[in-house]
Amino acid sequence: MATFRFGRLRSLLLAMGAIFLISTFYLYWTPAPASVVPSTAFEVPLTERQIAFWKALKPILEKNSPNCPSPVARADAHAVHFDATSTDPRPDLTLLKDDDRKAMEEAHANYVRDIRISKKLRSPHTAGKRGLVSTAGNSYLPVFVSSLRMLRRTGSTLPVELYMKDATEYEKKICEDVLPDLGAKCLILSEIVGKNPIAHYQLKVFAILFSSFEEIIWMDADCFPLHKPEELLDAEPFKTNGLVTWPDFWASTASPAYFELSRQPTPPMSARQSSETGVFLVSKEIHLTTLLLAAYYNYYGPSHYFRLLSQGAPGEGDKETFLQAATALGEPFYAVSERVQALGHWKPDGQGLSGSAMAQVDPAEDYALISQDKRRVIDPSVAKAPRVFFIHAHYPKFNPAENLFGAKWETGPTLKADGSDGRAWTAPEDVVSRFGYDVERNYWEEIKWVSCDPKTEFRTWENKAEVCQRVESYWQNVFAEPHEDDPKFTDEVEQPQGS
């Protein structure tokens, strides 16, 4: 009996000792700080997340096809400049029979319902991650690299994901030897969606959806910032709205039939300009459903929605799909009100402006003015214009291997009356002065680097040495020494020099 009691006592003491040791360990043990543990330590690889997302989205897209013939164009909308005081009726230039409109309305409503209730649709992004997304391939790739170098000149450290349609656009030397040093990487959409065709103007929304970023700055390959763009993600109007778009020159031409089938009131023509989506900001946390509806508009864009959203107006394509998706869902957004400005040079003999680029303003400064009820789009005299923040150099594309020089482009660099090299962007003078520094000189410095650095060998360039020689000659003629016709700037901003 005594032996039994002693055994029980020994077991009890051993148990108490073990508890003491374990308690002491947990009392004094401190977990590794979060910064030491990689945030992706237990994360499924991005490619697997992207493929799973597409496998969930594609059946929903195909299940809810418009299920009717394409709308019929009766005429194309004219390019009418936006008028914030207009009382004109909305153009109605697209024939959509009642039965077809009802079929599209039902499909639209069912798609919205399905994306909202689906438990399999998990965005592949990493929470809290922010970056810049673009697409480029073939002749657009040299343009993108110049834009990327302009991004880095601002001091931006945002990671960049460059999406390409398929393996034919992938250039090993650029993607593996050049872009990583600039904080960018190439991704191929066909590795996610397979051979299912996604046309050029549909790439944008799918690149954004498949991106690993939660907060995204989208920039076309021929766009670049003048200032550090991540500042915009930390300020209004983005922080509250999660979607910021910039205007095009023109009035909105979305069809009344679109607003009917998407079950929303038809806005007056004075509500806002059409969109120019060479640049925009979007948060997936706030606007994943908006992006999914924009994907629907793009997936069925060529057959149905592009026509309904633009009615043949200039730039018809994906440009209206993002903002209109947000309005259809009743989601918040901010559409910059300040008019986009054409950049170029004055034609001889008073023939007007020859434009080759678009200047788009700081949305934070625009928002501040609107918050004070100062609408420059109605009365430009109410306040000083916001600073220029982005340039969209869209015509011609600044690819020095593709007839950028010479008489083919009246908007190109060889502009002087005597045929000698000159600047492309000298007017309007009040817009150029708002750059704050010599943006065009900086841009050409980066074009020179892209043209002449030994690592930048592009598949579409037949004679790199000849391209480099022409760019260096142009640089010496235009930028090497100050000229009396160089633009003047209102606010000098010190910019880092390119290498």
Q: How does pLDDT run across 213-230, given as a tens digit for each residue?
A: 999 999 999 999 999 999
Nearest to 420 by CA among 485, 341, 330, 344: 485
- 13 vs 127, residue with greater confidence: 127
Min mean pLDDT across 89-103, 174-188, 330-344, 481-495 is at 481-495
Q: Is 463 left (phi over 0), alpha (psi -120 to 50) or beta?
A: beta
Q: Is the pLDDT assigned to residue 17 strictly greater than 80?
A: no
- At 418 the pLDDT is 67
Give the position of tokens 């051993």: 14
Alpha helices in 411-491 (DSSP H): 429-432, 439-452, 464-478
137 and 225: one domain?
Answer: yes
403 and 294: one domain?
Answer: no
Measure the CA angle with vertex 149, ends 146 and 155; round to 5°: 155
Q: Is the pLDDT assigned to residue 10 strictly greater than 60?
A: no
User: Taking a C-beta distance cutoff of 8 angstroms, is the pair 150, 357 a contact?
Assistant: no
- At 482 the pLDDT is 79
pLDDT tens by residue, 149-173: 999 999 999 999 999 999 999 999 9
- At 396 the pLDDT is 79
Q: Is residue 261 part of a domain?
A: yes
- What CA–CA distance (Å, rounded) separates 267 from 290? 19
Of 306, 335, 364, the domain-final residue: 335
- At 31 the pLDDT is 37
**What is the mean pLDDT of the segment spanning 126-143?**
97
- At 397 the pLDDT is 85
302 and 387: one domain?
Answer: no
**What is the mean pLDDT of the segment spanning 412-435?**
80
- At 344 the pLDDT is 87
Min mean pLDDT across 8-12, 89-93, 406-410, 484-488 is at 406-410
The helix/strand/coil state of 361 is strand
355 and 310: one domain?
Answer: no
375 and 318: one domain?
Answer: no
- At 421 the pLDDT is 83
Q: Is the pLDDT assigned to residue 98 strictly greater than 80?
A: yes
Min mean pLDDT across 98-112, 337-351, 425-439, 476-490 is at 476-490
Residues of the domain holding 401: 341-480
294 and 363: one domain?
Answer: no
**Domain CATH for 145:** 3.90.550
- At 413 the pLDDT is 58
Q: Is residue 350 part of a domain?
A: yes
pLDDT tens by residue, 266-312: 999 999 999 999 999 999 999 999 999 999 999 999 999 999 999 99
329 and 354: one domain?
Answer: no
Q: Is the pLDDT assigned to residue 29 strictly greater than 90?
A: no
User: Taking a C-beta distance cutoff of 8 angstroms, is the pair 280, 229 a contact?
Assistant: no
Q: How far is CA 474 from CA 95, 167, 355, 423, 481, in A?
A: 51, 34, 20, 10, 12
Question: Which residues in 219-254 are b (16+ Cβ under 10 Å) and which e?
Answer: bbbbbbbbbebbbbbeeebbeebbbbbbbbbbbbbb
Q: Is the pLDDT assigned to residue 489 strictly greater than 70?
A: yes
Q: Is residue 108 part of a domain?
A: no
Q: Is residue 104 part of a domain?
A: no
The helix/strand/coil state of 394 is coil
Nearest to 334 by CA among 384, 368, 374, 305: 368
Q: Is residue 12 part of a domain?
A: no
- At 485 the pLDDT is 73
Beta-sheet pairing, 243-251 with 273-283: antiparallel
186 and 136: one domain?
Answer: yes
354 and 322: one domain?
Answer: no
- What CA–CA distance (Å, rounded) separates 456 from 467? 12
**What is the mean pLDDT of the segment spanning 54-72?**
96
Question: Which residues in 40-63 are b (16+ Cβ under 10 Å) and which e?
Answer: eeeeeebeebbbebbeebeebbee
pLDDT tens by residue, 372-406: 999 999 999 999 999 999 999 987 789 999 867 65
Q: Is the pLDDT assigned to residue 359 strictly greater than 50?
A: yes
pLDDT tier at 414 (50, 70, 90 boundaries)? low
**What is the mean pLDDT of the segment spanning 408-437?**
77
Mean pLDDT of the residues in the chain: 88
Q: Is residue 139 part of a domain?
A: yes
Beta-sheet pairing, 215-219 with 130-135: parallel
pLDDT tier at 11 (50, 70, 90 boundaries)? low
- At 250 the pLDDT is 94
Which is it for the CA torsion 477, 483, 488, 491, positive or negative?
Answer: positive
- At 423 the pLDDT is 87
**What is the mean pLDDT of the segment spanning 453-468?**
94
282 and 368: one domain?
Answer: no
358 and 316: one domain?
Answer: no
* Distance from chain centroid for Cα 324: 16
Side-chain half-sphere exposure of 495, counting CA atoms within 13 A? 26
- What CA–CA distance (Å, rounded) separates 312 from 297? 16
Q: Is 394 left (phi over 0), alpha (psi -120 to 50) or beta?
A: alpha
Q: Is the pLDDT assigned to residue 417 strictly greater than 90?
A: no
Of 335, 369, 398, the domain-final residue: 335
Of 313, 335, 357, the domain-final residue: 335
- What CA–CA distance (Å, rounded) separates 203 from 201? 6
Q: Is residue 76 part of a domain?
A: no
Tokens in use for 126?
Answer: 């990493």
- 313 vs 396, residue with greater confidence: 313
265 and 392: one domain?
Answer: no
Q: Is residue 107 part of a domain?
A: no
Number of domains in the chain: 2
**What is the mean pLDDT of the segment spanning 202-219?**
96
Q: Is the pLDDT assigned to residue 488 strictly greater than 50?
A: yes
* Distance from chain centroid for Cα 401: 25
* Lateral strand order in the sheet of 388-392: 223-225, 388-392, 353-361, 341-346
Share of the chain above pLDDT 90, in %: 76
pLDDT tier at 65 (50, 70, 90 boundaries)? very high
